[in-house]
Amino acid sequence: MNTYGHFIAGKAVSGTSGRFGEVFNPSLGEVSGKVALASRAEMRKAVEVAREAFPAWSAVNPQRRARVMFNFKALVEKNMDELARILSAEHGKVIADSKGDIQRGLEVIEFACGIPHLMKGEYTEGAGPGIDIYSMRQPLGVVAGITPFNFPAMIPMWMFGVAIACGNCFINKPSEKDPGVPMRLAELFLEAGGPPGVLQVVNGDKEAVDAILEDPDIQAVSFVGSSAIAEYVYSRGTAHGKRVQAMGGAKNHAIIMPDADLDQVTNELIGAGYGSAGERCMAISVAVPVGEKTADALVAKLKPRVESLRVGISTDPDADYGPLVTAQHREKVKQYIDMGVKEGAKLVVDGRNFSLQGYENGYYLGGSLFDHVTKDMQTYKDEIFGPVLQIARARDFDEAIALPTTHQYGNGVAIFTRDGDAAREFASRVQVGMVGINVPIPVPLAYHTFGGWKRSAFGDVNQHGPEGVRFWTRIKTVTQRWPKGGVRENASFVIPTMK
């Protein structure tokens, strides 16, 4: 049985609060370990260590910081199988999906390896008589990330990869549900040449979160999780003078036009809707076929595919997806399916009673499919975060655009069509932060930026890409003049201009 403490000052340390949380193996439905829940004093210790490490790390030139990131990338790749096993055992993802989780994080590490170029400022010679102006980007200091259970490798690397490359010292507060991978990543960063105190992991619950949000030495906080907590993190963090980006929930729609290839659409919806048991903020959870004929044909194709989904233990190479993360979350998803039936949606495929032979204690759900879902239903308004796909029929193109545009969430959306004009108009008009055109999960590549709109994101700056560099740095502008000699006889009381 694993016991996780924290990773502070370059080494694993035991927790001292006396409080612990349980870590489960979702495939087996049993406790596999325990994790220390930090006190404010333990979080403060990590902050002090980071504060002491910051002057030296920020003074390391960007090229040498990039070399550490290159080494870290190579070590993560070398230990990919081990990391995937840890991730799958604690989260429940199948091994292939866990490796995808790690790889998408590594793509941001690759981007961060370009930090010497990304940190370059601007220079104007002769901006005025004998005056030059230049700008520089400088790190903030001690920063923190509060990361979720559903991507315990990818999202920490999205955050700390750019933050550390920019010269900051980073404290990760991962989900207490699956802390193993974040702890191992911190060990690998140290092995890669990262100095002690630059990347630390402090496990915990709300007490640790509040300690981060209120600590005067933490300059910026990045968060990914539910919208209610994202709003809390944003409001409380900014109230304490911090720069905050807080990514929340989602209800991602897929618009299916009458001219779309329904075989392609069916494949894409199956993967994007049920992969990782639907526990993705970018999962497609609502399909919006345009026209009754399109809807009927789509349901006819989806029904047998959902019924034949292979649900298995996380190490089963033939499983399409594994268990949900906890028994409590499985019950929550079941309650949403119950609610959908009561609200009058048609349950085409019911996955509530699924049981995996030999693993009856695991947290499994079969795939569920709803038809005739309407926008006034609570199950449509909320993020279910499970293996449930809803079909909300639209009469025409305008009604289809209106559904994601008027929804409280605005994370991702997709359209499937052969019509370039319709796709272009959709991308322009829809009020959602990330748009896919014949792409079901429109997560931008690492050198672009990730972020939703409305209640899917709180704060003005997105994750990774150039936006990530801007978030983890602040700009300083220098106006300089070197007089040729002599002293000006008269003081000027007029504001300088270029007239």
- HEC assignment per residue over 146-214: ECCCCCCCHHHHHHHHHHHHCCCEEEEECCCCCCHHHHHHHHHHHHCCCCCCCEEECCCCHHHHHHHHH
Extended strands (E) in 239-320: 243-247, 252-256, 284-289
Give CA–CA dist 224/236, Å, rounded.
15
Give CA–CA dist 376/379, Å, rounded.
9
DSSP secondary structure of 101-133: HHHHHHHHHHHHTTHHHHT---EEEEEETTEEE
| Bridge-based pairing state of the strands 142-146 and 218-224 | parallel
Give CA–CA dist 224/458, Å, rounded.
10
Give CA–CA dist 263/261, Å, rounded.
6
Tokens 């026209």 correspond to 291
Angle (CA) 293-294-295 rounded to 5° is 90
- Is 113 catalytic? The answer is no
Q: Is the CB of residue 51 less than 8 Å from the CB of residue 205?
A: no
Give CA–CA dist 57/145, Å, rounded.
18
Nearest to residue 174, comparing CAs of 240, 71, 100, 86?
86
Residues 6+ apart with CB under 8 A from 98: 83, 84, 85, 87, 88, 91, 153, 314
Nearest to residue 51, comparing CAs of 173, 143, 136, 119?
143
Q: Is the CB of residue 4 less than 8 Å from the CB of residue 23?
A: yes
Q: Is the CB of residue 373 less than 8 Å from the CB of residue 380?
A: yes
Q: Is the CB of residue 112 less than 8 Å from the CB of residue 165?
A: yes
CA 282 to chain centre: 9
**Amino acid occupying residue 363:** Y
Catalytic residues: 281
